[in-house]
Amino acid sequence: METRSQPAAREVTSPDAAVLSSVVKRFTNAKGEEFTAVDGLDLRIRRGEVVAFLGPNGAGKTTTIDMLLGLTRPDSGHVELFGRAPQAAVRAGQVAAVLQSGGLLPDLTVEATVRMLGSLHPGADVEQVMARAGITALRHRRVNECSGGEQQRLRFAVALLSNPEFLVLDEPTAGMDVAARREFWATVREDTRRGMTVMFATHYMEEADQFADRVVMVDRGRVVADGSASSLRAAISGRTVSALISPGDAQEVAASPLVRSCTVRGDRHYFDATDSDALLRLLVTRTSATEIEVAPRSLEEAFMVLTHQGRSTAQEGTR
Ligand SMILES: Nc1ncnc2c1ncn2[C@@H]1O[C@H](COP(=O)(O)OP(=O)(O)OP(=O)(O)O)[C@@H](O)[C@H]1O
């Protein structure tokens, strides 16, 4: 079972960067109750893929990443990186991580940080790594004087020191403003064009859309949708039209091909529209609907769409 087993010869030549099979991780809370954070998760990441790992708070993203990096072991199931145990791949420098915080000494300069950590990796090219992470101009700045975005670029530089094949980023832009997020991703994107495998956890739909080839959505420790970034784009491009409307009219509208689904919250009906302009015309001209509102689909609504539609595209990138 699991990560301690010796890799067989065929596994070492695995075409996959990462494989998680039926992975389960439980925690015990302060009251001694058992809680399943990761609940039979299956995921396969091919070499060269850029995968966004998207999900609400507490979905199990960090726990999964910790298992992927060999920081914690699954209670059951199997985790492999490049056909070997995660710890072995980490030791070999094949995988590196950018985590949300920690790992930096506030009084060191940017350059001293990279040099100090670079000394752990024989052959590391400190100047090249700083250039790749876009921090050469910050070399004399102390870590505690760097912005959140600059510190993340420094962590990115540190992750590059081992010249990894697979980079794992756990919510690397959490807490950054939009401009800092954009700058961070521009740096990473530039670097990953060289074919590195990347998996990143995020809460931001637009980061997943803009940066990933593939989007894996998790909820309650399970993969609930897995598809291309274009399927995500289609899911978030929709609009929700809501109105105060009589049940009879609502039923008729819901049966229209312009409507994917209808939900009722409070006294409003929410229609998930295939064509929001046409639906708006229908509501105004054919029903007694009032207080009509059109809004972009929320993350939760896109999530629901992907959960249903994603199933059909679910395995396109994985099998
Ligand atoms: N060491 C631990 N002990 C007990 N419970 C834990 C521990 N680590 C995580 N959990 C719980 O497991 C669940 C999954 O947590 P995890 O951090 O993996 O989620 P996440 O998707 O990364 O969430 P977020 O987006 O908020 O960071 C949460 O309910 C969390 O409280």
| pLDDT, tens digit (0-9, with 9 covering 90-100), for 48-94 | 899 999 988 889 999 999 999 999 999 999 999 999 999 999 988 89
pLDDT of residue 66: 93
Q: Report CA(159)–ligand 1 centroid distance (Å).
A: 23
Ligand 1 neighbourhood includes 59 CB (under 6 angstroms): yes
Q: Is the pLDDT of residue 191 over 80?
A: no
- Check if 9-234 and 239-296 are the same fold: no
pLDDT of residue 132: 87
Closest-lying ligand 1 atom to the alpha carbon of residue 221: 14
Ligand 1 neighbourhood includes 63 CB (under 6 angstroms): yes
Ligand 1 neighbourhood includes 202 CB (under 6 angstroms): no
pLDDT of residue 309: 45
Q: 13 or 140: whose pLDDT is higher? A: 140
In this prediction the ipTM stands at: 0.96
Q: Is the pLDDT of residue 159 over 60?
A: yes
CATH of domain 9-234: 3.40.50.300
Three-state SS sequence of the chain: CCCCCCCCHHHHCCCEEEEEEEEEEEEECCCCCEEEEEEEEEEEEECCCEEEEECCCCCCHHHHHHHHCCCCCCCEEEEEECCECHHHHHHCCCEEEECCCCCCCCCCEHHHHHHHHHCCCCCCCHHHHHHHCCCHHHCCCEHHHCCHHHHHHHHHHHHHCCCCCEEEEECCCCCCCHHHHHHHHHHHHHHHCCCCEEEEEECCHHHHHHHCCEEEEEECCEEEEEEEHHHHHHHHHCEEEEEECCHHHHHHHHCCCCEEEEEEECCEEEEEECCHHHHHHHHHHHCCCEEEEEEECCHHHHHHHHHHHHHHHCCCCCC
Ligand 1 neighbourhood includes 58 CB (under 6 angstroms): yes
Q: Report CA(152)–ligand 1 centroid distance (Å).
A: 22
Q: What residue segments make up the domains of the chain, in order of their start?
A: 9-234, 239-296
Ligand 1: residue whose CA is nearest its atom 7: 27
Q: Report CA(316)–ligand 1 centroid distance (Å).
A: 28
CATH of domain 239-296: 3.30.70.1510
Q: Which of 63, 168, 205 to mutate to test the pocket of ligand 1 (most atoms within 8 A of CB)?
A: 63
What's the chain's average pLDDT?
85
Ligand 1: residue whose CA is nearest its atom 18: 60
Q: Report CA(285)–ligand 1 centroid distance (Å).
A: 49
Ligand 1: residue whose CA is nearest its atom 8: 63
